């Protein structure tokens, strides 16, 4: 060893160690600060082994209270499921319809001007920042109880995600085809409608399906404020302490979520697989429709032949139309209430202004802090458990197939359970309050974060690991010096994203009694203190934007 | 300079010039900001019905020049005149009308991948149709029939109902040519039309372009970076370097040695002969820039 050093030493000039840049030093301090705040939140919320152990006792009592599960009659179940699906379907459809023009205005290649681009981007951010629950409270006031308010609320809030993803997709698209239409003298609408729809269609549908999954979970929550479907039935039975029925309905939601996720996942996979697929000689469908298809140039038809692709396009459009009509019929949208509500809009909106603290600002701030504590604590617990789970689930870290498969399946199962159902279960087990919310959010956080972590480890450059391995490094050395080093910035980004979503979720879970400002929100809307709803909303949006700004800065600083 | 046109004195003279030169660039300079000149005082007149090739390394200003001709760029100073119209004085609708007469072929074909080949060709007629078209069946039957004829002309009628992105690169470029033909263009611009193709497909596409331009009497302006392909294809070669015209000559009767000089003047590199000439000399200065201008001067002198 020393021999080698001796030989090298005279030649190599010791390089100056560069000072770490100011930003990354501050970033580390901020990250440590967040971790300490997370740990402190866990402690101050009173979550420790003793609490969890006593919850375990409660859990036994909980099981005795919910067994036997009291499932509603088959017809009623189907009716509830169909109503929920109809509401979610219409909400997602509405948000797609709203998102397309917004995204076209917000994306650089298709924007009309800087002013309208800025407006569209602001609309997207606003739609994302205002929770659908708050929108539902507003629209219930405007349109009366029922599905309409829920559909519009989810439809508008979803623009925050769908509009952003659509705009991103348009910007990532190759601009060449659009430019070629511009070059040949095509108008703006010709450029957009020729070059974009067919290219983006698979992504548009995939995004909509993804949002459908999310909206299905949200629709349960909206039941608490009076939007119909399974959520309303759960809220009603829990209010009357009918846990046997409530938990049976929760099981139905759970199964529904898993089924829908599987269905939409397979549709998305099929969509992605069919893009750019080579057209072969033709399947039996081609042969059935085109028995006497011409082959010579002279007698080629001017109408496209009925290929599988064309048949599929027509069939999908037909199914979409039928589903829309069926859903509209099922939820029985009352158009007259809609019109009356719109006419009354100014009067209703004036109910929400000016914002008021509804008595004490101190109480609001205190509850807001509890919400922040819950999300910090849940993110902390989630991160501590999700990092090892995510690492073990990554295929390029654990060579043993059985191990990483097992952890992948575990993650899928945990992710399948809606946080809301978890919150309801924990509220029943450990009583109303922060502990229930934190535990529910933590489990949700584990599901989301461990998937993100496993994915970003699998995305690391394998060749770097190979390079380190060829130097004779052991597996642990390879992991720490090659794999983890590459994935670390992604970890920070994911954890900040988790904190961001947890603040929203913590607020929403408060509605079912899991502590924090959400409960104030629900109460204010029940006693018609709409000015307080506005105040809560302003506080929440401020916190969310603050966290988002912090996480944007952190992500750039650690890169 | 045989091709630069004299300053217009009367309207009549201008008309006469317009009839000889479909495309005229008059002291065109494009400043991209920060002192980066895309084009530096370019004076060129492109004869109606001729095939001209712009040669140069990437970043030499070939694409920038082409984009000025169909109005995707506007000059910082100077004048671009196409088919008797001053491009920078046109209103939006007039600009569209001129663009209809200018077909463009792109390096990356710019077809809409998931759309059928026939619909892509039909899109070439959009400039003369009102309103957007979202499926093939929204194009008038006459347009569809014509598109099929154009496809037949480029030899791909049997692929009409296939997705465009399932074709090979050479086939996609031929579809793009068919799309341009739908405009009944008077001028055809081709920006590196064969740069993404293998040598055999490249030769096919160049042959097709040559044949079509002869049959339809098109004014063709193409950018290429292969000297030999350019010499075989064009009537006239224009070399560009850092936005300046460094070479401008007819290809008729070009010798192999002159071709090699063309290469050096465009790329700014020494030909083997120049390199050995300079081997004895020890001046280390700016050889590349000097040899380029020298070569340009020499080429100018041979004319």
Q: What is the DSSP string of A35-61?
A: HHHHHHHHHHTT-SHHHHHHHHHHHHH
Structure tokens at B95: 């600009």
**Greater model confidence, A347 or B277:** A347
Q: Looking at beta carbons, which residues of chain B come within 8 Å of A190?
A: 126, 129, 131-133
Interface test mutation site (partner B, options A186, A199, A204, A299, max chain B beta carbons within 10 A) = A186
- A373 with A38: CB under 8 angstroms? no
Say how far apart CA A382 and CA A387 lie, in whole Å. 8
In our burial notation (b when 16+ CB lie closer than 10 A, e otherwise), range B112-130 reads bbbbbbbbbbbbbbbbbbe
pLDDT at B297: 40
Residues 82-141 of B with CB under 8 A from A: 96-100, 102-104, 106, 108-116, 118, 123-124, 126-129, 131-134, 136-137, 141
> B65 pLDDT band (50/70/90 cuts)?
very high
> CA A217 to CA B296: how far, in whole Å?
72
Q: What would the DSSP string read from start to end of A215-278?
A: HHHHHHHHGGGT--SHHHHHHHHHHTT-HHHHHHHHHHHHHHHHHHHHHHHHHHHHHHHHTTPP
Confidence at residue A119, expressed as pLDDT on a 0 to 100 scale: 94
What angle do the packed helices A243-274 and A401-416 form, to 10 degrees?
120
A198 at interface of B, judged by CB pairs closer than 8 A: yes
CA angle (A319 as vertex; A315, A323 as ends), nearest 5: 175
Each residue's pLDDT, cut to its tens digit, for chain A (559 residues) gives 444 444 444 455 566 666 656 677 888 888 899 999 989 988 888 777 777 777 677 777 777 877 788 888 888 999 999 999 999 999 999 999 999 999 999 998 888 888 999 999 999 988 988 888 888 888 888 888 788 889 999 999 999 999 999 999 999 888 899 999 988 888 889 999 999 998 888 889 989 998 998 899 888 888 888 888 898 998 888 888 888 898 899 889 888 988 888 888 888 888 776 654 444 445 555 555 554 444 444 556 788 888 777 888 889 899 999 999 999 998 877 777 788 888 888 888 888 778 777 677 888 888 889 999 999 999 999 999 998 898 888 877 776 788 888 888 888 888 777 778 888 888 777 777 788 888 888 988 898 898 888 888 888 777 887 888 888 787 788 888 788 878 888 888 888 888 888 888 888 888 877 778 888 888 888 888 888 888 888 888 888 888 888 888 887 887 6
Look up residue A473 and give its two tokens.
Answer: 């490094």
Partner residue facing A303 (CB), from B128, B129, B137: B137
- Residues A458-491 as b/e (b if ≥16 CB within 10 A, e otherwise) read bebeeeebeebeeeebeeeebbeebbbebbebbb
Token reading at A212:
């459908």
Out of A361-375, A453-467, B120-134, B174-188, the most confident range is B174-188
Q: Across A359-363, B11-15, B188-192, which has the greatest mean pLDDT?
A: B188-192
Do A184 and B165 lie within an 8 Å CB cutoff? no
What integer pLDDT is reported at residue A86 of this predicted model? 95
Residue A99: count of CB within 10 angstroms of its CB: 28
Q: Which residues of A touch B91 (CB under 8 A)?
A: none
Determine which of B123, B135, B172 to mutate to test the interface with A (most A C-beta atoms within 10 Å).
Answer: B123
- Quote the tokens at residue B209: 């372009």
Residue B89 tokens, joined: 């004085």
Q: How confident is the model at residue B268 (pLDDT cuts 50, 70, 90)?
A: low
DSSP states of A132-191: HHHHHHHHHHHH-SSHHHHHHHHHHHHHHHHHHHHHHHHHHS-SHHHHHHHHTT--HHHH
Phi-psi region of B268 (alpha: psi -120 to 50; beta: other; left: phi over 0): left
Q: Given A185, A295, A303, which is nearest B96 (Cβ)?
A: A185
The proportion of chain B whose per-residue pLDDT surpasses 70, expressed as a percent, equals 85
Of all residues in chain B, the one with the smallest CA distance to A307 is B161
A304 and B161 in contact by Cβ < 8 A?
yes
Residue B102 has pLDDT above 70, yes or no: yes
Q: What is the mean pLDDT of residues B22-27?
A: 93
Output the pLDDT for position B186: 93
Q: What are phi and psi of B73, to 5 degrees?
A: -120, 150
How many Cα atoms occupy the beta-carbon half-sphere of B88 within 13 Å?
13
CA-nearest of A148, A61, A137 to A335 is: A148
Could you please report the per-residue DSSP string of A70-93? -PPPHHHHHHHHHHHHHHHHHHHH
Closest by Cβ to A279, choosing from B123, B141, B166: B166
Residue B295 binned pLDDT confidence (cut-offs 50, 70, 90): very low
Can you tell me the distance from the alpha carbon of A356 to that of A359, in angstroms, rounded to the nearest whole number?
A: 8
Strand order in the sheet with B236-241: B102-105, B187-191, B219-224, B51-55, B236-241, B244-250
Calpha distance B86→B84 (Å, rounded)? 7
Token pair 């100018």 is found at: B300
- Residue from B13, B35, B34 nearest B24 by CA: B13
User: Which range has the worst mean pLDDT, B10-19, B192-201, B276-285?
Assistant: B276-285
- What integer pLDDT is reported at residue B103 of this predicted model? 93
Residue with more model confidence, B169 or B292: B169
Q: A281 touching B, CB under 8 A?
A: no
Q: Are A445 and A506 in contact (CB under 8 A)?
A: no
> Which pLDDT value is given to residue A353?
79
Task: Fill in the DSSP letter of residue A480.
Answer: I
- Residues of A in Cβ contact (< 8 Å) with B137: 303-304
Residues B39-53 pLDDT 10s: 999 999 999 999 999
Return the pLDDT at B281. 42
Asked if A276 and B161 come within 8 Å (Cβ–Cβ), the reply is: no
The pairing of beta strand B102-105 with beta strand B187-191: parallel
Give the C-alpha separation, A218 to A508, whole Å. 9
For residue B292, how far is the Cα from the chain centroid? 23
On chain A, the residues whose CB falls within 8 A of the CB of B131 are 187, 189-190
Predicted local confidence at residue A508, as pLDDT = 83
pLDDT confidence of residue A277: 45
Shortest CA gap A553–chain B (Å): 29
Q: What is the pTM of this model?
A: 0.79
Phi, psi for A141 (deg, rounded to 5): -65, -40
Which residue of chain A comes nearest to B72, CA vs CA? A183
Tokens matching residue A485:
């080093």
CA distance B46 to B65: 12
Measuring CA to CA, how many Å separate B6 from each of B11, B45, B47, B51? 13, 10, 14, 21
Interface check A185 vs B, CB under 8 A: yes
Shortest Cα distance, chain B CAs vs residue A13, angstroms: 32
* Structure tokens that stand for B56 in this block: 């140069």
Nearest CA among A215, A242, A246, A251 for reference residue A232:
A246
């Amino acid at each position: 060893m020393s021999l080698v050093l001796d030989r090298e030493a005279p030649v190599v000039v010791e390089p100056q160690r560069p000072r770490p840049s100011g930003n990354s030093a501050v970033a580390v301090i901020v990250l440590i600060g967040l971790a300490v705040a997370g740990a402190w939140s866990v402690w101050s919320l009173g979550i420790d082994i003793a609490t969890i152990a006593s919850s375990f006792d409660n859990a036994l009592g909980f099981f005795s209270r919910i067994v036997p599960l009291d499932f509603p009659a088959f017809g009623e179940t189907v009716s509830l499921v169909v109503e929920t699906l109809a509401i979610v379907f219409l909400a997602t459809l509405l948000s797609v319809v709203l998102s397309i023009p917004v995204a076209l205005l917000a994306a650089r290649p298709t924007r009309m001007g800087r002013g309208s681009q800025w407006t569209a981007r602001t609309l997207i951010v606003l739609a994302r920042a205002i929770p659908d629950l708050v929108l539902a409270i507003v629209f219930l006031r405007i349109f009366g109880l029922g599905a309409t308010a829920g559909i519009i609320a989810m439809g508008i809030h979803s623009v925050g995600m769908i509009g952003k993803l659509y705009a991103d997709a348009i910007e990532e698209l190759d601009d060449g085809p659009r430019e070629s239409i511009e070059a040949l003298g095509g108008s703006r609408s010709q450029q957009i409608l020729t070059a974009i729809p067919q290219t983006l269609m698979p992504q548009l549908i995939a995004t909509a399906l993804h949002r459908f999954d999310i909206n299905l979970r949200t629709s349960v929550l909206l039941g608490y404020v009076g939007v119909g479907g399974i959520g309303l039935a759960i809220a009603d039975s829990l209010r009357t302490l009918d846990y046997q029925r409530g938990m049976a309905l929760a099981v139905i939601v759970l199964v529904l979520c898993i089924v829908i996720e599987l269905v939409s996942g397979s549709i998305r996979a099929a969509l992605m697989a069919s893009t750019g697929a080579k057209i072969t000689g033709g399947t039996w469908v081609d042969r059935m429709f085109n028995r006497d298809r011409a082959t010579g140039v002279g007698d080629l038809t001017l109408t496209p032949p009925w290929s599988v692709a064309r048949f599929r396009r027509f069939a999908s459009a037909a199914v979409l139309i039928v589903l829309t009509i069926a859903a509209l019929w099922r939820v029985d949208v009352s158009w007259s209430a809609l019109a009356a509500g719109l006419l009354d809009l100014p009067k209703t909106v004036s109910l929400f202004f000016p914002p008021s603290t509804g008595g004490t600002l101190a109480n609001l701030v205190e509850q807001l802090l509890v919400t922040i504590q819950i999300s910090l604590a849940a993110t902390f617990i989630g991160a501590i458990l999700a990092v090892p789970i995510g690492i073990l689930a990554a295929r390029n870290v654990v060579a043993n197939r059985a191990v990483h498969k097992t952890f992948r399946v575990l993650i899928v199962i945990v992710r399948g359970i809606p946080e809301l159902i978890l919150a309801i279960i924990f509220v029943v087990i450990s009583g109303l309050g922060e502990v229930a919310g934190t535990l529910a959010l933590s489990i949700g956080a584990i599901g989301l974060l461990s998937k993100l972590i496993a994915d970003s480890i699998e995305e690391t450059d394998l060749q770097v690991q190979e390079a380190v391995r060829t130097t004779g490094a052991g597996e642990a050395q390879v992991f720490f010096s090659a794999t983890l080093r590459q994935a670390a910035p992604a970890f920070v980004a994911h954890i900040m994203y988790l904190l961001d979503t947890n603040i929203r979720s913590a607020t929403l879970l408060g509605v079912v009694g899991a502590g924090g400002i959400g409960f104030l929100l629900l109460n204010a809307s029940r006693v018609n203190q709409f000015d307080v709803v506005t105040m809560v909303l302003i506080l929440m949006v401020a916190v969310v934007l603050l966290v988002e700004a912090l996480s944007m800065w952190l992500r750039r600083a650690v890169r | 300079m045989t091709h630069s046109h004299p300053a217009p004195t009367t309207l009549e003279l201008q008309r006469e010039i317009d009839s000889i030169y479909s495309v005229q660039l008059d002291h065109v300079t494009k400043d991209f900001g920060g002192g980066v000149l895309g084009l530096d005082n370019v004076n060129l007149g492109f004869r109606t019905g001729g095939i001209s090739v712009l040669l140069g390394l990437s970043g030499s200003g070939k694409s920038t020049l082409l984009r000025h001709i169909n109005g995707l760029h506007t000059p910082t100073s100077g004048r671009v005149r196409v088919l008797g119209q001053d491009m920078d004085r046109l209103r939006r609708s007039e600009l569209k009308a001129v663009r209809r007469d200018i077909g463009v072929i792109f390096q990356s074909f710019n077809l809409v991948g998931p759309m059928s080949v026939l619909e892509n060709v039909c899109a070439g007629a959009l400039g003369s149709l009102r309103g957007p078209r979202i499926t093939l069946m929204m194009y008038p039957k006459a347009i569809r029939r014509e598109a099929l004829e154009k496809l037949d002309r480029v030899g791909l009628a049997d692929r009409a109902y296939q997705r465009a992105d399932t074709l090979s690169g050479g086939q996609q470029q031929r579809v793009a040519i068919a799309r341009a033909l739908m405009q009944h263009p008077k001028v055809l611009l081709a920006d590196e039309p064969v740069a993404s193709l293998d040598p055999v497909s490249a030769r096919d596409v160049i042959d097709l372009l040559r044949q079509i331009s002869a049959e339809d009497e098109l004014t063709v302006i193409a950018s290429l970076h292969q000297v030999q392909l350019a010499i075989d294809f064009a009537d006239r070669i224009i070399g560009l370097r850092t936005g300046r015209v460094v070479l401008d000559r007819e290809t008729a009767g070009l010798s192999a040695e002159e071709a090699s000089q063309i290469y050096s003047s465009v790329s700014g590199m020494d030909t083997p002969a120049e390199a050995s000439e300079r081997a004895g000399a020890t001046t280390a200065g700016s050889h590349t820039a000097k040899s380029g201008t020298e070569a340009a001067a020499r080429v100018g002198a041979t004319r």
